[in-house]
Every structure is written in structure tokens, then in C-alpha cells.
Amino acid sequence: MTVAPLSWHIRSLADAEPVPWRNGGGITRELAAGPDAAAWRWRISVAEVAQDGPFSHFPGVDRFFAVLSGAGVRLTFPDQSVVLTAQDEPLAFSGASACDCRLLSGPTVDFNLMSQGLHAKLVRCLDGKQDVEAQASDILGFYAIEPLQIISQDASWEIPAHTLCWHVATHALALQGKGASFMAWSLSSHPAS
């Protein structure tokens, strides 16, 4: 199968409207938010960062941040400084934390997962496979940096590059992503195991 099952949501980065930042430092393209964009408990976006500057504060929000392309960034928090490149695992941090972003060498494109009151996971996979499991009512998905194959117990389908796909599980399920470069993520209201 080359087309995703109807129960899956698909959103291409090219179809997401760019929204300029108030400080002029970049643009954000929101790919998904639930239960809706105005009152979200989770949100996924891709940002193009063009200049140094502070991250916006999001008290009560858990964040994941990953560099998709560009040389990378240095994120400075009150208690630590972290360098992230397009080869590194996503960084998890509190949206309430003060965070200053410095570009290492030119603009970057970055992946952002934000959640409120949910158990979130985000992992990067480079040239390989990643298993993702879900319980009923969990949300799970993938962001294809390069073309991606998703494999379930009874089907497989292709996701083009620069595309987000996600599914709200109606029962326990296990999936596998297979590709050269992608992100795999899940959100759950169940206690972390």
C-alpha cells in the first residue's frame, strides 16, 4: 500500500502557512494541534530560525526541540548550555525555562513538539528503523525528513519527505518507521511506564 489508511492524518510542510515571529527572528509553520489550534494540549510545528534570540515562554508546557537542518544551535538555560545539530537527539525541557538560542553558523530549520499534561516522547532515527507502540487513545506519529515507510502488522505505506503523519489509537498497536531520516513521536494520558 502506498497510501496511508483513512484513520491517519497527513500534513505536508508545504501546506502549512508560514507565520512570522513577532520579533522578526524567524517563521513557524504549525503542522498539527489537538484537540484544536485554539485550545491545544499538544502542538507540533516546524520553525525556520534566521537570527539569535530568546525562546518564547510557555509555562505549564513540556517541550521537545530538534534541529532538522542547518549547522545547529546553542541553547542556553539558567543552569546549562546545550549544542544541538541535525544529528542529535531532541532536547526535552520545560516551556517555563528561560532559553536563549544562538545559531552556530547560519539559519536552521527546527522541529518542535509541545504538550500540556501528557506524557510525550520524541526520538530521531537516522538511516534505520524505529518501533512505536501505543495504547488506546494514545496519539502517535512520524515526521518524514526523508521519504519514510511505515509498517504495521497488516499493511505498509509511504510518507513523502517533509510530511507529518499521526493517528489516534483505538486499540493497542505497534508500528515501525523505516527510513534515512525521520522523527517518531507519541503522546499519552496514561502514566509513563
Let me know if residue 4 belongs to a domain.
no
Let me know if residue 137 belongs to a domain.
yes
Banded model confidence at residue 165, pLDDT cuts 50, 70, 90: very high
The b-or-e profile of 118-151 (16+ CB within 10 A means b, else e) is: bebbbbbbeeeebebebeeebbbbbbbbeebbbe
For residues 165 and 89, state if they share a domain: no
Let me know if residue 35 belongs to a domain.
yes
Q: Of 91, 115, 139, which residue sits at a domain end?
A: 115
For residues 108 and 91, state if they share a domain: yes
Let me know if residue 139 belongs to a domain.
yes
How many distinct structural domains can be found in the chain? 2
Let me know if residue 6 belongs to a domain.
no
Q: Of 96, 115, 134, which residue sits at a domain end?
A: 115
Total number of residues shown for the chain: 193
What are 21-44's pLDDT values in tens digits?
A: 877 778 999 999 998 888 899 999
Q: Of 115, 143, 178, which residue sits at a domain end?
A: 115
Query: What pLDDT, on a 0 to 100 scale, did the predictor assign at position 154?
Result: 81
For residues 38 and 103, state if they share a domain: yes
For residues 54 and 68, state if they share a domain: yes
Query: What pLDDT, on a 0 to 100 scale, did the predictor assign at position 192?
Result: 60
Residue with cell 510557555: 58
d(C-alpha 146, C-alpha 86), whole Å: 13
- Residue 167 domain boundaries: 118-188
Which residue from 160, 158, 153 is spatially nearest to 175, judged by alpha carbons?
A: 153
d(C-alpha 66, C-alpha 143), whole Å: 12
For residues 29 and 102, state if they share a domain: yes
d(C-alpha 11, C-alpha 15), whole Å: 7
Let me know if residue 69 belongs to a domain.
yes
Let me know if residue 169 belongs to a domain.
yes
Across 174-180, average pLDDT: 94
Let me know if residue 5 belongs to a domain.
no
d(C-alpha 98, C-alpha 94), whole Å: 9
What are 61-115's pLDDT values in tens digits?
A: 999 999 999 999 999 999 999 999 999 999 999 999 999 999 999 999 999 999 9
Query: What pLDDT, on a 0 to 100 scale, did the predictor assign at position 160?
Result: 96
Which residue from 81, 128, 56, 71 is spatially nearest to 105, judged by alpha carbons?
A: 71
pTM: 0.93
Q: With 80 as the cut, is the pLDDT of residue 6 above it?
A: no
CATH classification of the domain holding 183: 2.60.120.10
